[in-house]
Amino acid sequence: MLLLNSSLLRVCSSIVSSPQLHQNFFHPVNFVAWRLLSSSASNSKNNDKQHIVVALGGNALLKRGEPLTVENQRKNIRDGISSLSAVLRSNTVTFVHGNGPQVGLLALEGAAYQKQTGAIPMQLDVLDAETEGSIGYMLEQEIDSALGDEGRKRGVITMLSQIIVSPNDEAFNNPTKFIGPVYSLEEANKLGKPVKQDGQFYRQVVPSPQPIQLIDQQLTALELLTKNDVIVICGGGGGIPVIFDPVSRRLTGIEAVIDKDRAACMLGKTLGADGLMILTDVEGVAVNKDKPDEKWIKSTSPAAILELADNFPSGSMGPKVSSAIDFVQTQRDRWCRIGSLKDATSMLEGKAGTKITNEHGTDHLEYY
């Protein structure tokens, strides 16, 4: 896996003259991406594909209540990429993924290590970076396996993504972002950390500030890669939250987890993407969910679904719906689809999930 930064590119440039090092150091999938970064952006392909930002929920990569093992994650990722293979082949795709269960496990490991040794645990921004690498690594391998030679020609790469947030964001006073495994009420009360209800269970919550922008040097690389149809995995876990100090000109990580759907929306707008797919472990957006009069939305305008906002909890479906609205309402021909990862192809065909679109007018709302 190649992690993009200027230091690594300088190292890569120093070995460019050696064919033997090319063969041994670079996997073909990542070498395509490195070669693009080493060349001029003016060599971009004439790409007529739609550009879709695909947001994979952390719970889509690990089923609720399932043990957080590498084997379980690999199986779920393999099944997910299989569901997405047609989407990947027909479109330019930029992945953003969640990391709630994964970063929560690392936080628990840090707490256990602190209890044993007295050492201060690593901050959440460092844990975010760790999960970007580990989940990106597994996604790359399954994409490589699914696409074969096509993927090796296009290139697949994971990018460590530092995303600027405001230190004054109100989220730091009201943590809502779920991380870690699920607990019973009795177990949650023993954690000694903020928890909130998530369905039938309880989970730890942390601050989730709004993403402002991907740092400039990484955005430059991301734009070049997507223009050349490279499959990029970025903004993992919503990205690594950082604060920019205008005086020192330094970036500093902060203890938080950015919502990956909001990060996907921000990246999609910045890159001028055509569509946003928010894939999770539920089949779409529902009104009165888990109640006798539950109804699933098939298609809606941003304005119509905004009127139903009270149906969407802030720790789960709320950010997905608000991200969809934000993405779609800024440009008339953009669309967003929310639904289950296993239904990805059917969602693009209009047979599953919920579509947020402007194409049917401002009052449009259709149920299944």
From 155, 177, 228, 239, active-site residue:
177
Question: Cα(348)–Cα(43) distance, rounded to whole angstroms?
Answer: 30
Q: Which residue has the tokens 């957080």?
A: 68
Query: Which neighbouring-strand residues pair with 163?
Result: 214, 241
Question: Cα(275)–Cα(305) distance, rounded to whole angstroms?
Answer: 18
Question: Cα(310)–Cα(238) distance, rounded to whole angstroms?
Answer: 24
Task: List Cα–Cα distances, 221 to 47, 173, 214, 292, in angstroms.
Answer: 17, 34, 11, 49
Q: Give the single-character DSSP code of 326.
A: H
Q: Give the single-character DSSP code of 343.
A: G
Question: Cα(143)–Cα(283) distance, rounded to whole angstroms?
Answer: 23
From 30, 57, 59, 99, active-site residue:
59
Question: Which residues have CB under 8 Å from 62's CB, separation 6+?
Answer: 68, 72, 73, 76, 101, 102
From 237, 320, 339, 355, active-site residue:
320
Count CB-CB contacts under 10 A for residue 120.
9
From 58, 104, 136, 237, active-site residue:
58
Tell me, yes or no, if 289 is annotated catalytic. Answer: no
Tell me, yes or no, if 177 is annotated catalytic. Answer: yes
Write the burial class of residue 213 (CB in 10 Å: 0-12 exposed, 13-18 middle, 19+ buried). Answer: middle
Tell me, yes or no, if 58 is annotated catalytic. Answer: yes
Angle formed by the axes of helices 6-14 and 28-38, nearest 10°: 100
Q: Which residue has the tokens 């298609």?
A: 299
From 136, 235, 260, 355, active-site residue:
260
Q: Does residue 334 sit in helix, strand or coil?
A: coil
Tell me, yes or no, if 193 is annotated catalytic. Answer: no
Tell me, yes or no, if 189 is annotated catalytic. Answer: no
Question: Cα(163)–Cα(115) distance, rounded to whole angstroms?
Answer: 31
**Residues tagged active-site:** 58-59, 177, 260, 320
